[in-house]
Amino acid sequence: MSNIQLDIEWTEAASRKIEKLMPRNANKDALLALPPVECLPVEGDVLFLGPAGKQQPFIVAERQYHHDGDADWTIVLILDVPHETH
């Protein structure tokens, strides 16, 4: 059985945008819900993230797979913002 870990990385523009939506010190319980690993988005897909009623679009700029040894894997989603908001 594989052990798969999911990581999210942000471009600089996406990092600034999500920080405005969900400041780190505002609510320690604020989480981003993502679909299960078997339904993960691919490059070019748009995810709407943020608190209820304030979701904003983020584009999956890249999806990477890293083999961590044996049956261990890490999937990295690199999120960006749509170009018109840069």
If one counts the domains in the chain, the total is 1
Determine contact, residues 7/68, Cβ cutoff 8 Å.
no
pLDDT band at 76 (very low <50, low <70, confident <90, very high): very high
pLDDT digits (tens, 9 = 90+) for 15-69: 999 888 887 776 555 567 777 777 889 999 999 988 888 889 999 999 999 998 8
Residue 58 lies in a domain: yes
**Domain ranges, residue 46:** 1-78
Residue 34 lies in a domain: yes
pTM of the model: 0.77
Whose tokens are 């999806």? That residue is 63
Residue 47 lies in a domain: yes
Residue 84 lies in a domain: no
